[in-house]
């Protein structure tokens, strides 16, 4: 257990170094030993399995049963006297095929869109120390034993043991449900079986750095991380039913029961009537049985599943035009009841990008001091990706870096010459 050990012992166990981190050979070995920093995706259902699930809806099962019975009855009539109404059979079959096809198409499209969104929003870059140098890597490249730099605004991409902490506070609400920010310390050691919320020497994947800065040594990645364990359990669980699906299923069961009881009563009464009229024979009982089956077929609303599927499909298409994706077709009815959506604005309603439009100086001599202060006393970095400047760290500090770069200042050279006296993280009270 990482939280029960000192940082030095843990680094030794992970074959890492608390100052220089891992080298490239150790990174490859760690990836082979502990795995990639990826949560194993849920196994995709085959087309056959999805088709069987679509055809297994209770209302469709009734229609399928009705189709088999109707086909059998009309085949019997056709073979007996050359007369058979197969139009009803064709109508029921079309309703079943249409409903199943629409369900497969719309749910398939939504699933692909969700997978694409997952890939887009999963692109997170991380600052790590390897071979004694700070490198920016994607979250998938992070391995156990890596030294990760944590700064305000960062998302934690793996579980790790704190090795340096400067007023570091983490929002762990996504994992523990606790809304209060938790301050982290590097010198704490805890007993085994200490609850996650009380481990103040650890940070966990999926949480956020709210304040301060620090470093951690990665102790678990991917499925081995606490968030990964939760994801594995969620993938193993069955999907719940939407309200509309429950109502349709309930209606299907009620119709089946009532139709079955009514047809059984009709069949018994028909047999009694035949017995009274002394016309009881195998063929007359067979006709009475077929009439009872036809009654069940007549009770089933053949157009209901198709109508529901078409209505939901039209709503899904309409929602898709507004950039709202529906994963399950029946969920379109549930989403229609949503009136309020609670969302964090950063990266959702805004782009999480800041820009300095202009800077005014009382004296021109202040210009050099201001730029150097903004460049040296900050921790954000810039990286060029696809000919576009990207900020890693504080958006405010990044905006000042870009403006300073446009004015001819090289923040990397200036930072290399600096001597750190004391680090005071941003505080909203001190500003």
The DSSP secondary-structure symbol of 365 reads: T
- The helix-helix angle for 58-81 and 303-321 (nearest 10°) equals 140
Tokens encoding 253: 């069961």
DSSP letters, 54-73, are HHTSHHHHHHHHHHHHHHHH
On whether the CB atoms of residues 129 and 149 are closer than 8 A, the answer is yes
Tokens encoding 264: 């059984």
Measured CA to CA, the distance from residue 20 to residue 163 in angstroms comes to 13
CA distances from 74 to 66, 69, 271, 294 (A): 12, 9, 22, 10
Measured CA to CA, the distance from residue 160 to residue 151 in angstroms comes to 14
Categorise residue 347: left if φ over 0, alpha if ψ from -120 to 50, beta otherwise: left
Question: Is residue 344 among the annotated active site residues?
Answer: yes
Query: Considering 13, 17, 344, 416, which one is annotated as catalytic?
Result: 344
Q: Which of 296, 254, 358 is nearest to 69 (CA)?
A: 296
Sequence-ordered list of residues with C-beta below 8 angstroms from that of 401, at least 6 positions apart, any chain: 374, 375, 378, 380, 381, 382, 391, 411
Tokens encoding 132: 């004694």
Count Cα neighbours of 1 within 13 Å in the Cβ-side half-sphere. Answer: 12
Measured CA to CA, the distance from residue 214 to residue 203 in angstroms comes to 11
Task: Catalogue the active-site residues.
Answer: 344
């Amino acid at each position: 257990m990482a939280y029960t050990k000192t940082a030095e012992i843990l680094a030794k166990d992970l074959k890492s170094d608390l100052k220089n981190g891992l080298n490239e050979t150790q990174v490859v070995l760690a990836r082979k030993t502990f795995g990639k920093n990826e949560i194993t995706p849920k196994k995709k259902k085959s087309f056959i399995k999805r088709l069987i699930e679509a055809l297994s809806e209770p209302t469709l099962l009734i229609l399928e049963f009705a189709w088999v019975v109707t086909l059998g009855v009309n085949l019997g009539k056709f073979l007996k006297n050359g007369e058979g109404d197969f139009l009803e059979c064709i109508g029921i079959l079309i309703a079943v095929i249409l409903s199943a096809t629409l369900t497969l198409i719309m749910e398939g499209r939504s699933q692909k869109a969700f997978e694409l969104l997952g890939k887009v929003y999963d692109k997170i870059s991380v600052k790590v120390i390897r071979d004694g140098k700070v490198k920016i890597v994607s979250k998938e490249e992070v391995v156990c034993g890596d030294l990760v730099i944590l700064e305000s605004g960062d998302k934690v991409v793996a579980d790790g043991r704190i090795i340096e902490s400067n007023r570091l506070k983490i929002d762990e609400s996504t994992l523990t449900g606790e809304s209060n920010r938790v301050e982290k310390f590097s010198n704490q050691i805890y007993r085994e079986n200490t609850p996650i919320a009380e481990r103040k020497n650890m940070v966990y994947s999926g949480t956020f750095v709210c304040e301060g800065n620090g470093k951690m040594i990665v102790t678990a990645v991917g499925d081995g991380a606490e968030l990964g364990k939760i994801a594995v359990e969620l993938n193993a669980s069955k999907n719940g039913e939407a309200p509309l699906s429950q109502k349709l299923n309930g209606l299907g069961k009620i119709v089946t029961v009532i139709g079955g009881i009514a047809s059984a009563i009709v069949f018994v009464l028909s047999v009694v009537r035949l017995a009274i009229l002394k016309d009881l024979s195998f063929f007359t009982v067979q006709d009475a049985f077929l009439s009872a089956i036809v009654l069940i077929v007549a009770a089933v609303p053949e157009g209901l599943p198709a109508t529901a599927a078409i209505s939901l499909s039209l709503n899904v298409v309409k929602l898709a035009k507004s950039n709202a994706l529906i994963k399950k077709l029946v969920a379109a009815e549930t989403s229609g009841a949503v009136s309020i959506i609670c969302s964090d604005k950063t990266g959702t309603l805004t782009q999480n990008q800041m820009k300095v439009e202009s800077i005014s100086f009382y004296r021109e001599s202040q210009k050099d001091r201001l730029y150097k202060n903004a460049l040296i006393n900050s921790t954000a970095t810039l990286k060029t990706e696809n000919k576009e400047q990207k900020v890693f760290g504080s958006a405010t500090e990044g905006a000042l870096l870009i403006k300073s770069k446009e004015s001819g200042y090289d923040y990397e050279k200036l930072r290399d010459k600096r001597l750190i006296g004391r680090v005071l993280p941003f505080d909203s009270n001190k500003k």
